[in-house]
Amino acid sequence: MKPSKDITRLIEIMAALRTPGTGCPWDLEQDFASIAPYTLEEAYEVVDAIERGDLADLRDELGDLLLQVVFHARMAEEQGAFAFPDVVEAITRKLIRRHPHVFGDIKDLSPGEVKNLWDTIKAEEKAERRAARESMGHLPEPHEAGFLGGIPTALPALTRAQKLTAKAAKVGFDWPETMQVIDKIHEELEEVKEASSSGQQDRIEDEIGDLLFAVTNLARHLGVDSEKALRRTNAKFERRFKAIETGLGERDRSLSEASLEEMEELWVAAKLAERAPGPSS
């Protein structure tokens, strides 16, 4: 087989990899559950390429993510459930239905009105899917029931926490003022302190979770994506820690040889260097 820009070739390659007897032994032993972690990983690598501004890498990572879609569709086809064309049909139907202001008679909507319309149509679709499953005797999963249902449990915990509070806020279950959320964070921090002195690990974990949840709620109130903010801080920590390693190397010292005070000195220097204004252009 030769590479091609035609999606059909990718589908053919996936079919070949999954063909018993002649296909790839590793691909053949996979199922939906074993592939799911790779699907999440590829999605994160797409985000990483975007945040780094690397469009060449983004092209490759999008291809890897597309492979995941084709892989899942092929396994579903083997079970007689659906095939890749059905996936394409499903998303095109959804896009057309959710954009009546583009493909229908509704015109001249503001961005806010478009968002409200999208939410309304999405809720209708969710109700229709639930009714269809129930008609076939399938009970809804616990995370699908109720007003907060439908927020995937596989989402990163920070993202899911922020989505849960955002959805609850739509019916008024929210702190009216941002300062109230900040006060809640102080309250949760005090409870962490109390739990930490108790020595009860379950209690400590529970209180840490409450604190993190309150912080994601504050992020939402301030219009900040908590997951993105933490990824940014992770990158900052890695960058500054690398500066510590570099600084120690210039002194012919290793991390294991350095004192905390010495590492802190280099950390502060790296922090100040980042904050220093760049040369004028």
Domain boundary assignment for the chain? 7-144, 157-224, 228-275
pLDDT at 253: 93
**Which superfamily does CATH assign the domain made up of 7-144 to?**
MazG-like (1.10.287.1080)
Give the Å distances, CA to CA, from 106 to 9, 100, 101, 102, 109: 39, 6, 4, 8, 8
CA–CA separation, 27 vs 19, rounded Å? 9
Contact call for residues 10 and 70 (beta carbons, < 8 A): yes
Please report the pLDDT score of residue 280 as a whole number. 46
Q: Please say whether the beta carbons of 226 and 215 come within 8 A.
A: yes
pLDDT at 151: 84
pLDDT (tens digit, 0 to 9) for every residue of the chain, 281 residues total? Answer: 677 899 999 999 999 999 999 999 999 999 999 999 899 999 989 998 998 899 999 999 999 999 999 999 999 999 999 999 999 999 999 999 999 999 998 888 899 999 889 888 988 888 888 788 777 776 666 556 678 877 888 888 999 999 999 999 999 999 999 999 999 999 999 999 999 999 899 999 999 999 999 999 999 999 999 999 999 999 999 999 999 999 999 999 999 999 999 999 999 999 999 887 655 43
Structure tokens at 109: 């909507």
Domain 157-224 is in which class?
A: mainly alpha
The per-residue pLDDT for 87 is 96
- Reported pTM: 0.69
Q: What is the DSSP letter of 151?
A: S
pLDDT at position 138 is 66
Q: Give the pLDDT of residue 281.
A: 35
